[in-house]
Amino acid sequence: MAKHVPGKKGPYIMLYALSTCPWCQKTKRLLDEMGLEYYYEDVDLLSGDARRDVMADVERWNPNRSFPTLVVDDSRCIIGFQENELRNLLKV
Amino acid sequence: MSAEPAVSQDEIDRLYARLKKEAEASGYFLNPDVDFTKSLVKGLLVNEDRYGYWACPCRLADGIKSADLDIICPCDYRDADLGQHSTCY
């Protein structure tokens, strides 16, 4: 079950992250700073079927399976910490 | 996978100093953003505690060393990433 961070309603944001990854932490901080509602999963903290299922979702958007992978409205994906792209795409 | 194991600031600082020295002796430089680099070092220590080796904090480890050899720091992708991004991934 993805974690929910409450905030301003806008596009549906799903962030696939690793708890150990500073680029993922920067992405979370940016979303927090923008005050947006989002969901995230720290994939390294999952195991077994839960990890397999989530990685199947990640791979659908990002065949390289790298982190962070952020999916907006189940239609657009941003790979890596791309601050300007995130700010532009997620303006609310 | 349980929550992140505790890593002390002292452990982070000691490993950071060691890696800085070793990197510079090999002609590499750590990211000058020390806070960022120390958060990477923390990730290495967390993964060492979890898996017994320094799996890259930014790549998903299997937890089986033979399957993770390519992502153990310094990983197989370091030089390619340096060429492409001027920093490791």
| Domain ranges (residues) in chain B | 9-85
Averages of pLDDT over runs of 10 residues in chain B (89 residues) are 77 96 92 94 96 95 94 86 76
Domains identified in chain A and CATH numbers: 3-84 (3.40.30.10)
For chain A, list residues with pLDDT below 70.
92
- Looking at residue A1, its pLDDT comes to 84
The nearest CA of chain B is from the CA of A18 a distance in Å of 7
- In this complex, which of B2, B43, B89 lies closest to A20 when CB atoms are compared? B43
User: ipTM, 2 decimals?
Assistant: 0.86
- Looking at residue B52, its pLDDT comes to 96
The nearest CA of chain A is from the CA of B26 a distance in Å of 24
- Looking at residue A32, its pLDDT comes to 97
Q: A72 has which bridge partners? A: A13, A76
Other Cβ atoms closer than 10 A to A4: 10
Test B57 with A22 for CB contact under 8 angstroms.
yes
- Looking at residue A33, its pLDDT comes to 96
- Looking at residue A92, its pLDDT comes to 64
Which residues of B, range 13-32, sit inside 8 Å of A by Cβ?
none
Which residues of B, range 39-68, sit inside 8 Å of A by Cβ?
39-40, 42-43, 46-47, 57-61
Helix (H, G, I), strand (E, B) or coil at A56: helix
**Beta-carbon contacts of residue A52 (< 8 Å; ≥ 6 apart):** none
- Looking at residue B84, its pLDDT comes to 79
- In this complex, which of A46, A55, A67 lies closest to B58 when CB atoms are compared? A67
**Beta-carbon contacts of residue A18 (< 8 Å; ≥ 6 apart):** A24, A42, A43, A44, A67, A68, B43, B57, B58, B59, B60
DSSP-assigned letters across all residues of A1-12: --EEE--B--S-
Pairing mode, strands A69-72 and A76-79: antiparallel
For the entire predicted model, the pTM comes to: 0.90
The nearest CA of chain A is from the CA of B77 a distance in Å of 13
SS (H, E, C) chain B: CCCCCCCCHHHHHHHHHHHHHHHHHCCCCCCCCHHHHHHHHHHHHHHHHHHCCCECCCCCCCCCHHHHHHHECCCCCHHHHHHHHCCCC
Chain A contacts of B59, Cβ < 8 Å?
18, 66-67
Conformational region of residue A28, where left means phi above 0, alpha means psi within -120 to 50, and beta covers everything else = alpha
Q: How far apart are CA A89 and CA B3, in angstroms?
A: 32
CATH superfamily of B9-85: Ferredoxin thioredoxin reductase catalytic beta subunit (3.90.460.10)
